[in-house]
A and B are shown apart, each in its own frame.
Chain A
Amino acid sequence: MSNRRSRQSSSALRISDDQMIDLVSKLRQLLPEIRERRRSDKVSASKVLQETCNYIRKLHSEVDNLSDRLSQLLDSVDEDSHEAAVIRSLLM
């Protein structure tokens, strides 16, 4: 545990501030919460990272919900499989 921690902090030190800011601002552009703001508004890296975590969690739960929904829909399509074929042909 302590070993891992020290490795991580040393790797954190290797990254330059410029690099960090470059990477974080790339993330910033993906976040709906922050993206809408004016570009001139500066946002702290900490805020961007917080929002990034929130956004990933939100996307994960969306995928979870959609998975449940799709599995239910699969049940309903199960009986006549030609529907599945129709959908597949639409997408191909």
Chain B
Amino acid sequence: MASLISDIEPPTHLDPSSTDLLRKKKRPSVSSGASARRHAASGDSESHARWRSEKQQRIYSAKLIQALQQVRHSSSSAATSSPTAQKRGKAVREAADRVLAVSARGRTRWSRAILANRIKLKFRKQKRPRPTAIPAMTTVITTGSSGRSRKRRVSVVRLNKKSLPAVTGKVRVLGRLVPGCGKESVPVILEEATDYIQALEMQVRAMKSLAELLSGSGSGSAPPPI
């Protein structure tokens, strides 16, 4: 599959958007990021393990805290009336997702989609033309074609001709839930969803423990508002 070659390309597309994020916070580990990406290309079981690792969660938490502080500063420095709680929750959510996408280092379509959304907003503000879309032909079917050994037990019922339309319909619904996968092919959606779920699980774990940390130390000295 020639499309595998373009696997190496995507990170460059991120550069305009994420440099300011990456440069400030991620300088030291850029080289390790490149090697991690290469690993991920060779076998995604490693990348899946990555989301499960404690180290990854720590990195994510640290980045999240930095992003949250920016959210706080920007909302408190705004001269306008203080933003509603709903708005701030949304800002936190956006920051959390953006940081998650940065943590994925552009290996996956869903993360590129999250970051691309961000660029679109930026460019719209500056009234410049939007960047060209991220190439559509990346990492197609890395599973099948990379010939990874199928050591996992097959625990799914074989498909028959009748069930196939229903299954593809469900995959389409799934594609709408994974960022950037609304128009992707079935194998891409399944692959991306596999990675995205694990990233989300890590995000939830990290945000939970951060919330616990904050509420634990917050209740000690300062009474909660209201």
Closest to A5 in B: B172
Q: How does the 8 Å CB contact mask read for A64-92 relative to B, with 1 for contact and 0 for none?
A: 10111111111111111001101110111
Q: Out of A11, A18, A24, A68, which one reaches B190, CB within 8 Å?
A: A24
B157 interface residue per 8 A CB criterion: yes
- Given A53-B174, A91-B61: A21 and B156 interface contact (C-beta under 8 Å): yes
Q: How many residues of A contact B (CB 8 A)?
A: 66
Q: Out of A21, A26, A40, A74, which one reaches B159, CB within 8 Å?
A: A21
Are B152 and A22 closer than 8 Å at their CB atoms? yes
A68 and B93 CA atoms in complex are apart in Å by 8
Chain A residues near B89 (CB-CB < 8 A): 64, 67-68, 71
A92 and B55 CA atoms in complex are apart in Å by 11
Are B204 and A29 closer than 8 Å at their CB atoms? no
A30 and B151 CA atoms in complex are apart in Å by 16
Chain B residues near A92 (CB-CB < 8 A): 62
Q: Which of B171-195 contact A (CB under 8 A)?
A: 171-174, 177-178, 183, 185-187, 190-191, 193-194
Q: Which of B52-111 contact A (CB under 8 A)?
A: 58, 61-62, 65-66, 68-69, 71-72, 76, 85-86, 88-93, 96-97
B45 to chain A, nearest CB (A): 9
Chain B residues near A25 (CB-CB < 8 A): 152-156
B129 to chain A, nearest CB (A): 24
Number of residue pairs across A and B with beta carbons under 8 Å?
208
Chain B binding site: helix, strand, loop or mixed by DSSP?
Answer: helix
Q: Out of B66, B155, B211, which one reaches A73, CB within 8 Å?
A: B211
Chain A residues near B218 (CB-CB < 8 A): 73, 76-77, 83
Q: How many residues of B contact A (CB 8 A)?
A: 72
Q: Report the 7 A-B pairs with minimum CB-CB distance, sorted nearest first.
A: A11-B185, A49-B170, A67-B93, A23-B190, A68-B89, A66-B207, A73-B214
Binding site for B on A (CB under 8 A): 4, 8-9, 11-12, 14-30, 39-46, 48-50, 52-53, 55-57, 59-60, 62-64, 66-80, 83-84, 86-88, 90-92
20 new A-B pairs (CB below 8 Å) besides A39-B155, A53-B170?
A8-B172, A12-B171, A15-B185, A19-B141, A20-B167, A22-B144, A27-B197, A43-B155, A44-B156, A52-B193, A53-B174, A56-B193, A56-B196, A59-B200, A59-B203, A74-B71, A80-B222, A83-B214, A84-B69, A88-B62
